[in-house]
Structure 1
Amino acid sequence: TVLRARLLARMREERDAEESSARRAQIGRGERAEKMRTYNFPQDRLTDKRLGYNLSNLERRMDGEIDELIDALSQQDEADRLSRLEEDGA
């Protein structure tokens, strides 16, 4: 009864802490250093910060021609997933 209530409360607190931690990891802190991409109009360049990838002709990129960037991000995501699988399996 009392013990059961305390155990349930403790389990709930642990679960809430895990969910909160996972949420913070996904959201980040919103700091300037966490930006993913910059659009440099004077230099006509788009830079993806996650990849260190630069694309020129910013006007075309703003019109949606970003397949090259999407492909690079997909390749990086696949490599990251494979790396995590290897780490988990090791």
Structure 2
Amino acid sequence: MSEDIAENIELGPIIKGVVVALILIVIGWYTSGYIGLFGLIAGSAISGFSTNNSTKYALIYGAIVGLICSFTMLTVFTIPIFIILGLFGGFVGKVIQSNIE
């Protein structure tokens, strides 16, 4: 089972989500912290929306986006918060994709 998950990971949705999230997090540094949190949710939603696989992969992509974006903050306490927000965004993106199809 672990080989199946590792073989089907797509880098395209992860890269798209990370780029969007990091751009909005940097904008949030200069304006408001809420824009950065919205950027994390939007970036992980884009990665969840872009995937062609199941919801499980959308959640994995969202967690990866959250983990990568948590390195922008210098505290350990942001890692679980960013991962949870990434999971939420990945799920929202997959729900939107399934409702459009």
- Point out the structure with the larger strand share: 1
TM-score higher than 0.5 here?
no
**Larger RCO, structure (CA 8 Å, separation 6 or more):** 2
What is the TM-score with the length of structure 2 in the denominator? 0.24
- Point out the structure with the larger helix share: 2
What is the TM-score with the length of structure 1 in the denominator? 0.25
Structure number, greater radius of gyration: 1
